[in-house]
Amino acid sequence: MSDWLDYLSRLSLGKIVIIILFALLGSRFRRDNSWGERAVTIICGVLAAVVFAEPLRLLLGWGADYESVVAAALALTGRNWAVYAFRASKDPAAAREIKAILRGKGK
C-alpha cells in the first residue's frame, strides 16, 4: 500500500489535471450512459492513466516529455474500455461485435 502512496505522491499536479480532464472530456461525448455509468467510466479512465502511463512510456522508450501525452491517451482509452463493457452488458449483439473486433475480424 505504501508503494501506491509513494507513486501517487510523485505525480505532478499538471499530470493529474490532464488525466481528469481527458477522462471527463471522453465522458461528455456519449449521451446514452447514465450518470452512474459516466462516473464509473471516468474512474476507469483515471485509473488506466495512473497505472499504465509510466510503464507504457518506458516500454515505448519515450522521454519524460511525453508523460502527459501518454497519460491523456490512456485516460481516454480506459474510459472507452469501460464504455464498451457497459455496452456489451446491455446488448448481446454489441458483445459479439466487440468480441469480433478483439479477435481481429472487424465488424
The DSSP result for 78-97, as a single string, is: HHHHHHHHHHHHH-HHHHHH
Tens digits of residue pLDDT in 28-41:
666 677 788 888 88
Tens digits of residue pLDDT in 62-96:
998 888 889 888 988 888 888 888 888 888 887 78
34 Cβ neighbours under 8 A, 6+ residues apart: none
- C-alpha torsion 58→59→61→65, nearest 10: -40
Q: What is the pTM of this model?
A: 0.68
What the block records as the C-alpha cell of 91 is 446488448
